[in-house]
Structure 1
């Protein structure tokens, strides 16, 4: 190499040693980011309507139910979220044989909630397992309770022997799940509807129609009897009122006739001869009506006015 081509770079370093401070800063920043990310990923917020169950190696270490910010130990602990509010579970329809060997299909739903998250996680593990056990318990209880009743007692509300059936089923299902320590509470088991297998519907509908016709006829008979009773009472009242009115009319008429007779007597007593003449002439109107043939002695006092006597 020629001497004029040599370049003098002095003390300036261009090798790997010149990047060492930057590498250290980058590693430090990366470490800080990892630490912050790890801390942030293990902080979580508990909402009002949920439980946070913290587990370590599969065992429940604590349950956080109060809303706010909390934490878990990185890599060692895991968090499971469970609802605190009431839950609705729609069970599968259950086929039940009644006491009189008839089949019905019962459809219902369950309102429930978690009251002990630790027991629920330890004994049921998941909500789906709880719902499965709940469905089995409800179906079993329905079969036992409805199986002790006749079909007519189940579908006929007026003659039902069920009592508060929903409350009874709720109590029995609660007893089963509390015995299994599932950490839940059944608030209500409610029957939505009771259906019949298709082959039984027509016979049941015909029976229901017959019962309704019978009931309607009963109401009509009661109405007719009541109408007859009211009519008889009205007729009796009318007859009594007419009798009272007729008696009063006859009394007034008799009083009028008596008063007329008194007036006549007072008038006629002033001239008895005239009264005798007047009564005789009045009798002629009746006797001689239709020009009858009358035979009487010529000297009869009754005939003297007919002969022009005075």
Structure 2
């Protein structure tokens, strides 16, 4: 009984010492074994490891690829057309010993320093001679990103950080330039619209003039053909009248007089005329049986 009383505390102490001596580094991490703030061991491989209990402690660091979004920064390309760009970077801690020595504040301080490096390199590359805003917005942008990545990697190496890639997320005009740019674009579109309207009106006038000319030509041609037809009809009528007059002059005079009566009575219901006028010679029958040339003039 007395023996078990002594073994129990020893067992508990052994468990505590073992828990303080053994630690695990998984595949997503790297670790440093520190003793009184000094680096005693760098562990880059995952697995089970040991340390001196109570005197040593372990600091863990991400071994995965990390991302960093930078704040928007203003750049001035060689064509003096200012742009506001924001970027993101992919990086990883490749040297934890150097990282701890260069960045005692940990990952937050490291990202602040890395963001300063990225913004500096972005302004330097995008503001270099020969780099215009059109270059930044063209296929040459990929080449510029490669340059920014290489220069940022060289600068960040002293922090124990490896910059894997840098990309621009957005490229915008400064807020004070947006209104002027939109106004210029609007004016350009309005000018193009006015040009299109003017060309349309010119084409419409040309088409209308052509249509009016065609109408005049068609009407003139139709009138000419109508006059020709009318003249031919009048000539045919005159020929028929002449033939009819030559076959029976008395009947022709009679019918012409009747036509004259009809036309005269349709226009006037009252006549003041001498009863023995030649106009009414067919009413008393005096013209029957003899030639009479009065009817023909009366029909005119």
Scaled by the length of structure 2, what TM-score is found? Answer: 0.56
Q: Point out where structure 2 has 5 or more consecutive residues left out of the alignment.
A: 197-300
Report the Cα distance in structure 2 between the residues aligned to 1:116 and 1:144, rounded to whole angstroms.
Answer: 27
Q: Point out where structure 1 has 5 or more consecutive residues left out of the alignment.
A: 1-20, 221-310
**Partner residue of 1:62?**
41
SS at match of 2:159: coil
**Partner residue of 2:57?**
78
Alpha-carbon distance, 1:102 to partner: 4.4
Alpha-carbon distance, 1:136 to partner: 0.5
Q: Which of the residues 153, 156, 160 maps onto 2:134?
A: 153
Do structure 1's residue 113 and structure 2's residue 84 form an aligned pair? no
The answer as to whether partners of 2:29 and 2:62 remain within 8 angstroms in 1 is yes
**Partner residue of 2:164?**
187
Q: Which of the residues 135, 150, 164 maps onto 2:115?
A: 135
Report the Cα distance in structure 2 between the residues aligned to 1:211 and 1:26, rounded to whole angstroms.
Answer: 95
Alpha-carbon distance, 1:195 to partner: 2.1
Alpha-carbon distance, 1:79 to partner: 0.6
SS at match of 2:53: coil
SS at match of 2:138: coil
Which range moves more in the overlay, 105-114 or 198-207? Answer: 198-207
SS at match of 1:138: helix
Alpha-carbon distance, 1:190 to partner: 0.6
SS at match of 1:164: helix
Q: Return closer, same or farther for 1:155/1:51 CA change in 2, 3 Å cut-off.
A: closer
Q: Return closer, same or farther for 1:121/1:196 CA change in 2, 3 Å cut-off.
A: same
Alpha-carbon distance, 1:154 to partner: 4.9
Report the Cα distance in structure 1 between the residues aligned to 2:12 and 2:33, rounded to whole angstroms.
Answer: 25
Scaled by the length of structure 1, what TM-score is found? Answer: 0.54
Alpha-carbon distance, 1:206 to partner: 4.7
Q: Return closer, same or farther for 1:209/1:26 CA change in 2, 3 Å cut-off.
A: farther
Alpha-carbon distance, 1:74 to partner: 0.9
SS at match of 2:49: strand
- Spell out the pairing of 1:199-238 with structure 2 (5 A cutoff): 199-207=176-184
Post-superposition Cα deviations, 1:85-117, rounded to whole Å, max 9, x if no partner, equal 211111222122344544422111110112111
Aligned pair count reads: 192
Report the Cα distance in structure 1 between the residues aligned to 2:54 and 2:19, rounded to whole angstroms.
Answer: 13
Q: Which of the residues 124, 140, 145 maps onto 1:166?
A: 145
